[in-house]
């Protein structure tokens, strides 16, 4: 008998999880807007526009980090090209935002400014329908999804993995960046898209619009986390982690890793596309440098810092790295690369499980110390040994509920 | 006494002027005319005489020293006034000489005429220089035609004569007589120069409905001529493309050889490999600075000193990287990727702090500048030739090291089967360090080569990691022959694609090709023979 999806969903998160979701939603959708709109700027609890934009941006990064974690932490596939899918989503939605400018550009034309500049007379075919909001959202999911599917199909079918796969994804995003840098490609070349005016008719700089975008980012992140939890707790997730740990054995048992890898890879790319689509209106610009090799590798370090193979870790990782980035680049710009470089080295050397793993280790040590104390008093039970990987993160009940 | 001196001067003056005929003052009158055509004709006439007096007058004209005074054309030189026709001083100096002005078109004609006059110089080098000058910019050819006629007949030197023949034909292209034009086109058709092709192209162009060239025969001859020139140009263009491809390939080879060794031995990709290239290039820069400051006499040989320095600096950095970071990540290739990326960030930023964020200037030594002219449109620059030879030399050394030394045997053993090599007593950990050092040193050598043809800056290496990895993937792991074929093949193919579709599309096409290639041959062009099991 199959368990209905709704029961899987409820069981997948557990009461504690749902409580966390509810609290986050309350903070994001009620308290933050109130603090931003109602409190005067001098008030200590006032949330500034800068803070909302910064946090909104980090939320989008966090979605990308979770998507990355799904393939790297659970699938064992390290992509160094996820910036491409993020940027493709951003460009898809950026096309809509460019059309929303209407005739308010510098050249007062129906066409976006850069096309007037190139002396183009009409929109290229791939801009068809870009003035429809829903079509733009659809593109933001579909374009990264289709490209990821095609690329993944060929890569996974010939069993490209490990560093081969990583370098080829890096080459992919590099080639795409070069492609988007060309003016003739029709996406604004070097400058990309910017100077957005409105979204669905609302001014893009209005505080209310920003709050709605912020709320949507929170919703997307929560949705991603819930989806990730359901996927990971399902049978699918079990096979996926098995492929990560011993692909050949899984094949001998009779599973075809291609379908599993391809599915999670495509889902991950689509999530990145959505995150990109939310990112662009909040920061107000998208250009090919989002596809640069360095950006994509940074995504991997968010996940590594937070903790691979845990869903909440990447969220922390994205927040830690990006908050320190905005602090360093304003205070000590010349030391940011040193910090980032050392972060890469030290985290991989000394924190293979990230901060979440560190936290789990510390709490376990406390538990062990307590157990040792108890043992000293009653010398009998051997200290329980937690198995490695994500046992600390996954509630035991979740796995049982789904795998029936 | 004074009278004696005066008469002596007079005699000397007579001798000087008596040696040649004076210019016709009437011909000079044209120069003073206000009419453009008359002036032009006068200059042409002067040039056609081809003698030293004419040159003197034209030079004066070019220097704005020619003037009209008292109905005569005179040259004002210093405080003196000389008669233009004879070159003798006029005493007393006429009052208020009125300078003869030139507009741009005339000035160009005068310059051309002066160059043409030098075609009659006794010095061969000067004649050659003058001919080349005219080849580069002849100006109004028709005006020079008479003088070229003369020059072609007078010239005895073969090299100069070929140039002159071409110039002569070029000048006749503008002739109003169709038969003359036809002959000129036929002469030009024997050339193999892109400049001549450009010259002939207007003859077959249309303006509105009418052809620029009205005579059908001439037009037809021009078409044939262009075709035969193109045929001659084609092979040298292809040869040029192959050469640039090979030189790109040899850079790729230097970058990829080190990576092939480390990837083969340890199975990890060193993302800081490009930064080792950067370190090599900065070593060349440091040696250049040192030589300029301390041994200015030997500054041309700084590159020779840079080669060992770059090798050892890069090798030391590489071994330090292996000892401190990579060794501890053994068996976790993906984490190694990230950690070495972190290393590359640190190295880039360190270079920025040490040498500044701007690109630094690394000059070609004198013996590497210039090139070998193979054909009219094909010249192989020395710096690229040297780099191709250098990478061949490095390849030879690596081959010797891998195949003829004990260390090389150990490296190959660890590449093929690490646990087995360890079992029979190969010190695998030490081999790792050494192999990494050698691979890094080779990257440093690549950096020296790169410093001669590319910009040297902190992030010069970032683009190379993908390209070098493609070479390794294509060639097969741990195979020198594979790396060589893959590097040269990728170099030549991407240069040809660039010529055909542009640099960006070429890059994308190469990437697509490699992805398809891996589908068919995941083990690369040259695979190690043996049975392996994954995981």
Please state the ipTM of this predicted complex: 0.83
- Domain for residue A161, yes or no? yes
A167: chain B residues, CB-CB within 8 Å: 269, 465-466, 469, 473
Tokens of A48: 């500034």
Of the candidates B188, B462, B190, B426, the one whose C-alpha atom is nearest the C-alpha of residue B349 is B462
Residue A394 has pLDDT above 60, yes or no: no
d(CA A375, CA A383): 8
Compute the nearest-CA separation of B349 from chain A (Å): 6
User: Which pLDDT score, from 0 to 100, does residue B50 have?
Assistant: 64
User: Which pLDDT score, from 0 to 100, does residue B295 have?
Assistant: 85
User: Which pLDDT score, from 0 to 100, does residue A137 have?
Assistant: 93
Compute the nearest-CA separation of B99 from chain A (Å): 51
d(CA A384, CA A391): 13
Q: What mean pLDDT comes out for the span A146-156?
A: 92
DSSP string, A329-372: HHH-GGGHHHHHHHHHHHHHHH-TTHHHHHHHHHHHHHHHHHHH
Q: b/e map of B139-150 (b: 16 or more CB within 10 Å)?
A: bbbebbbbbbeb
Chain B residues within 8 angstroms (CB to CB) of chain A: 267-269, 325, 328-329, 332-339, 341-346, 348-349, 352-353, 462, 465-466, 469-470, 473, 503-504, 507-508, 511, 514-516, 518-519, 522, 533-535
B504 to A182: CB separation less than 8 angstroms, yes or no: yes
B354: chain A residues, CB-CB within 8 Å: none
User: Which pLDDT score, from 0 to 100, does residue B362 have?
Assistant: 85
Residue A241 has pLDDT above 80, yes or no: yes
What count of other Cβ atoms lies within 10 Å of the Cβ of residue A80? Answer: 29
Residue A321 has pLDDT above 70, yes or no: yes
d(CA A364, CA A385): 9
Mutate to test the interface with A, among B275, B327, B338, B512 (most CBs of A within 10 A): B338
Residue of A166, A304, A341 lying closest to B346 (CB–CB): A341
A337 to B346: CB separation less than 8 angstroms, yes or no: yes
Q: What mean pLDDT comes out for the span A269-276?
A: 96
Residue of B269, B349, B352 lying closest to A163 (CB–CB): B269
Read off the pLDDT band of A220 (50, 70, 90): very high
- Among residues 208-247 of chain A, which lie with CB inside 8 Å of chain B? 246-247
A294: chain B residues, CB-CB within 8 Å: 462
Q: Is A337 on the interface with B (CB under 8 A)?
A: yes
B337 to A80: CB separation less than 8 angstroms, yes or no: yes
C-alpha distances in Å from residue A160, one per residue of A46, A258, B473: 51, 11, 11
d(CA B98, CA B84): 14
The residue ranking higher by pLDDT, B52 or A92, is: A92
Residue B533, Cβ density class (10 Å: 0-12 exposed, 13-18 middle, ≥19 buried): exposed
Name, in order, each residue with C-beta under 8 angstroms of B138's C-beta and a sequence gap of 6 or more: B112, B144, B167, B170, B171
Q: b/e map of B64-84 (b: 16 or more CB within 10 Å)?
A: ebbbbbeebbbbbeeeebbbb
Compute the nearest-CA separation of B293 from chain A (Å): 30
- For chain A, give the percent of residues with pLDDT over 70: 90
Of the candidates A300, A327, A305, the one whose C-alpha atom is nearest the C-alpha of residue A316 is A305
Q: Is A329 on the interface with B (CB under 8 A)?
A: no
The residue ranking higher by pLDDT, B30 or A153, is: A153
Residue A180 has pLDDT above 70, yes or no: yes
CB pairs under 8 A between A and B: 122
Tokens of A263: 């599915």
Q: Identify any residues that bridge with B256 across adjacent strands, giving them in sequence order.
A: none
d(CA B270, CA B248): 22
DSSP string, B416-432: H-HHHHHHTT--HHHHH
Read off the pLDDT band of A236 (50, 70, 90): very high
User: Which pLDDT score, from 0 to 100, does residue A389 have?
Assistant: 41
A172: chain B residues, CB-CB within 8 Å: 511
Residue A387 has pLDDT above 70, yes or no: no
A119: left (phi over 0), alpha (psi -120 to 50) or beta: left
> Any idea of the CA torsion for B366, B369, B372, B375, to the nearest 10 degrees?
-150
Beta strands in A174-320 (DSSP E): 193-194, 198-199, 202-203, 285-286
A154 to B519: CB separation less than 8 angstroms, yes or no: yes
Strands of the sheet with B80-83, listed across from one edge: B80-83, B72-77, B66-69, B98-99
What count of other Cβ atoms lies within 10 Å of the Cβ of residue A309? Answer: 24
For residue A42, the 8-state DSSP code is T
- Domain for residue A14, yes or no? no
Q: How many domains does chain A have?
A: 1
C-alpha distances in Å from residue A60, one per residue of A72, A217, B286: 18, 6, 45
Q: For A303, which residue in chain B has the nearest alpha carbon? A: B338
Q: Report the relative pairing of strands A202-203 and B72-77 from DSSP bridges.
A: unpaired
The answer to whether the beta carbons of residues B197 and B229 sit under 8 Å apart is: yes
d(CA B474, CA B515): 10
Mutate to test the interface with B, among A75, A79, A174, A244 (most CBs of B within 10 A): A174
User: Which pLDDT score, from 0 to 100, does residue A392 have?
Assistant: 39
Name, in order, each residue with C-beta under 8 angstroms of A64's C-beta and a sequence gap of 6 or more: A82, A86, A271, A272, A275, A276, A299, A302, A318
Provide the CA B49 distance to its chain's centre, in angstroms: 39
Tokens of A162: 């490990």
Compute the nearest-CA separation of A51 from chain B (Å): 29
Q: For B533, which residue in chain A has the nearest alpha carbon? A: A248
- Domain for residue A25, yes or no? no
- Domain for residue A342, yes or no? yes
User: Which pLDDT score, from 0 to 100, does residue A383 have?
Assistant: 42
Q: Is A345 on the interface with B (CB under 8 A)?
A: yes
- Domain for residue A129, yes or no? yes
Q: Report the relative pairing of strands B80-83 and B98-99 from DSSP bridges.
A: unpaired
3-state secondary structure of A284: coil
d(CA B170, CA B174): 8
User: Which pLDDT score, from 0 to 100, does residue B210 have?
Assistant: 67
B269: chain A residues, CB-CB within 8 Å: 163, 166-167
Tokens of A122: 């009409």
Name, in order, each residue with C-beta under 8 angstroms of B339's C-beta and a sequence gap of 6 or more: A344, A345, A348, A349, B325, B326, B329
For residue A96, give its domain range: 48-402
User: Which pLDDT score, from 0 to 100, does residue B376 have?
Assistant: 66
Residue A275, Cβ density class (10 Å: 0-12 exposed, 13-18 middle, ≥19 buried): buried
A338 to B349: CB separation less than 8 angstroms, yes or no: yes
Ranges under pLDDT 50 in chain B: 8-20, 535
Rounded mean pLDDT of chain A? 85
The H-or-E segment that residue B49 falls in is helix B36-49
- Among residues 261-300 of chain A, which lie with CB inside 8 Å of chain B? 293-294, 297, 300
Compute the nearest-CA separation of B28 from chain A (Å): 56
- Domain for residue A136, yes or no? yes
Contacts 24+ apart (CB under 8 A), A392-397: A392/A310, A392/A356, A392/A357, A392/A360, A392/A364, A393/A309, A393/A310, A393/A311, A393/A312, A393/A313, A393/A356, A393/A360, A394/A232, A394/A233, A395/A14, A395/A16, A395/A17, A397/A11, A397/A14
Q: For A334, which residue in chain B has the nearest alpha carbon? A: B349
Q: For B330, which residue in chain A has the nearest alpha carbon? A: A349
Q: Is A258 on the interface with B (CB under 8 A)?
A: no
- Give the CA angle between residues B26, B31, B36 to the nearest 5°: 125
d(CA B384, CA B251): 10
């Amino acid at each position: 008998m199959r368990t209905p999806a709704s029961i899987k969903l409820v069981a997948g998160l557990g009461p504690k999880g749902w409580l966390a979701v509810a609290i986050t939603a309350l903070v994001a959708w009620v308290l933050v807007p109130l603090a931003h709109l109602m409190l005067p700027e001098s008030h200590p609890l006032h949330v500034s526009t800068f803070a909302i934009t910064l946090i909104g941006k980090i939320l989008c990064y966090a979605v990308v980090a979770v998507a990355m974690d799904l393939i790297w932490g659970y699938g064992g596939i390290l992509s160094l090209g996820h910036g491409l899918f993020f940027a493709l989503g951003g460009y898809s939605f950026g096309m809509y935002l460019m059309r929303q400018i209407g005739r308010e550009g510098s050249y007062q034309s129906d066409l976006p400014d850069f096309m007037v500049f190139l002396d183009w007379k009409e929109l290229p075919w791939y801009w068809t329908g870009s003035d429809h909001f829903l079509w733009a959202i659809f593109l933001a999911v579909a374009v990264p999804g289709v490209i990821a599917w095609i690329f993944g199909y060929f890569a996974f079918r010939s069993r490209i993995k490990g560093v081969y796969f990583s370098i080829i994804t890096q080459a992919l995003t590099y080639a795409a960046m070069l492609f988007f840098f060309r003016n003739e490609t029709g996406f604004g070349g070097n400058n990309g898209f910017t100077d957005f005016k409105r979204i669905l008719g609302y001014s893009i700089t209005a505080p209310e619009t920003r709050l709605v975008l912020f709320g949507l980012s929170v919703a997307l992140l929560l949705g991603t986390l819930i989806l990730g939890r359901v996927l990971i707790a399902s049978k699918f997730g079990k096979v996926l982690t098995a492929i990560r740990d011993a692909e050949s054995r899984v094949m001998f048992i009779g599973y075809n890793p291609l379908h599993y890898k391809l599915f999670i890879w495509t889902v991950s790319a689509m999530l990145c596309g959505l995150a990109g689509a939310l990112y662009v209106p909040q920061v107000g610009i998208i250009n090919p440098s989002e596809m640069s090799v360095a950006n994509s590798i940074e995504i991997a370090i968010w996940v590594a810092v937070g903790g691979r193979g845990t869903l909440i870790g990447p969220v922390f990782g994205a927040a830690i790295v990006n908050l320190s980035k905005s602090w360093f680049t304003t205070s000590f710009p010349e030391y940011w690369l040193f910090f980032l470089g050392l972060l890469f080295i030290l985290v991989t050397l000394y924190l293979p499980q990230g901060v979440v793993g560190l936290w789990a280790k510390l709490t376990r040590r406390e538990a062990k110390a307590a157990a040792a104390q108890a043992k000293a008093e009653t010398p009998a039970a051997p200290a329980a040994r937690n198995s490695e990987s994500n046992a600390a993160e996954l509630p035991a009940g979740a796995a049982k509920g789904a795998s029936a | 006494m004074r009278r004696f001196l005066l008469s002596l001067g007079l005699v000397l003056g007579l001798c000087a002027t008596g040696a040649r005929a004076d210019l016709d003052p009437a011909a000079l009158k044209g120069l003073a005319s206000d009419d453009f055509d008359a002036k032009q004709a006068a200059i042409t006439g002067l040039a056609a005489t081809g003698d030293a007096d004419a040159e003197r007058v034209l030079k004066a004209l070019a220097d704005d020293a020619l003037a009209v005074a008292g109905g005569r054309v005179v040259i004002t030189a210093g405080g003196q006034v000389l008669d233009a026709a004879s070159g003798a001083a006029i005493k007393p100096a006429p009052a208020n000489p009125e300078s003869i002005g030139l507009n741009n078109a005339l000035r160009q004609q005068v310059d051309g005429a002066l160059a043409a006059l030098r075609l009659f110089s006794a010095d061969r080098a000067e004649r050659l220089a003058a001919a080349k000058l005219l080849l580069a910019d002849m100006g109004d050819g028709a005006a020079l035609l008479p003088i070229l006629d003369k020059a072609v007949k007078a010239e005895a030197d073969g090299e100069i004569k070929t140039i002159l023949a071409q110039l002569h034909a070029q000048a006749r292209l503008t002739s109003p007589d169709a038969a003359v034009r036809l002959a000129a086109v036929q002469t030009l058709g024997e050339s193999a120069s892109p400049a001549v092709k450009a010259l002939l192209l207007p003859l077959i162009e249309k303006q509105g409905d009418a052809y620029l060239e009205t005579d059908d025969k001439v037009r037809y001859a021009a078409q044939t001529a262009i075709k035969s020139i193109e045929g001659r140009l084609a092979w040298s263009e292809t040869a040029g493309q192959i050469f640039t491809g090979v030189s790109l390939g040899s850079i790729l080879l230097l970058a990829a050889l080190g990576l092939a060794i480390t990837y083969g031995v340890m199975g990890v990709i060193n993302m800081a490999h490009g930064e080792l290239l950067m370190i090599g290039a900065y070593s060349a820069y440091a040696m250049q600075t040192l030589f300029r400051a301390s041994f200015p006499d030997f500054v041309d040989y700084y590159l020779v000193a840079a080669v060992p320095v770059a090798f050892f600096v890069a090798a030391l950095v590489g071994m330090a990287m292996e000892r401190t970071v990579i060794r501890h990540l053994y068996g976790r290739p993906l984490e190694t990727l990230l950690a070495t990326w972190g290393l590359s960030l640190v190295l880039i930023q360190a270079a920025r702090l040490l040498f500044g964020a701007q690109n630094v200037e690394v000059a070609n030594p004198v013996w590497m500048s210039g090139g070998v002219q193979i054909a009219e449109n094909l010249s192989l620059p020395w710096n690229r030739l040297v780099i191709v030879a250098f990478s061949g030399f490095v390849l030879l050394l690596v081959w010797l090291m891998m195949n003829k030394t004990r260390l090389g045997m150990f490296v190959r053993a660890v590449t093929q089967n690490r646990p087995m090599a360890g079992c029979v007593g190969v010190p695998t950990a030490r081999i790792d360090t050494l192999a990494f050092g050698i691979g890094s040193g080779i990257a440093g050598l690549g950096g020296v080569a790169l410093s001669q043809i590319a910009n040297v800056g902190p992030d010069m290496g970032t683009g190379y990691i993908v390209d070098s990895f493609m070479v390794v993937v294509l060639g097969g792991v741990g195979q020198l022959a594979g790396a060589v074929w893959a590097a040269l093949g990728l170099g030549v193919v991407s240069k040809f694609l660039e010529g055909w579709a542009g640099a960006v599309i070429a890059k994308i096409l190469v990437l697509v090709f490699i992805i398809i290639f891996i589908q068919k041959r995941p083990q690369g062009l040259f695979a190690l023979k043996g049975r392996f099991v994954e995981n």
